[in-house]
Amino acid sequence: MLIIFSLIILLFSVVIHEISHGSVAYALGDSTAKDAGRLTLNPLKHLDPFGSIILPLLLLLFTGGQGPIFGWARPVPINPYNFRDQKWGIVKVAIAGPAANFLLAIIFGLLIRFSFFPSQFSSFFPDVVFINLLLGLFNLVPISPLDGFNFFFNILPNTFWRIKIILQQYGIFILIFFIFFGLRFLGPLIFYLYKLIVGS
């Protein structure tokens, strides 16, 4: 039952992540995501066969349900040429997804910290905090096609162009390697931020 709740929390967390990208793009003048019907909380509009279904199940299988439940939704379509802010538009859209996850983690963490709800109603709140911290931090890793790639390589000087090209060419392989072997290194930072927000 706890695993099912974790999967539901993950699903809606990645949906909100993608809606945030699309909403900021729309605010900047790009209606591509809205026209595609992606600015909706309906999870069926956002499911990615690998990221939303296969990867979480593989992680459950390999960790026996003891490891982090993780995945992603289908990226919302955007057209940066429609942005009114051509210089920083892509940076704003890139950071919107992780920012939404961090905001969710903070909201539910503060609800835990100040005990606004009886324990029987808030037993799943820690999972909301943990999963959203994981999603937010993971997506800030500067590997293509993660948000961190678009964020950092659009604010860094052009002297990093060689690294950018390599990460674009081999990004998916580096990403898969990182998911299975590097994700654990985010653990200490996640637990630190969790205690900082929740207060225990």
Give the residue numbers annotated as catalytic, written as ranges.
Answer: 18
CB 34 within 8 A of CB 14: no
Give long-range contacts, CB 8 A cutoff, 24+ apart: 102-107: 102/132, 102/133, 102/136, 104/13, 104/16, 104/128, 104/132, 105/129, 105/130, 105/132, 105/133, 105/136, 105/193, 105/197, 106/197
Q: Which two tokens stand for residue 140?
A: 């800030």
Query: HSE of 44 in the Cβ direction (CA atoms, 13 Å)?
Result: 0
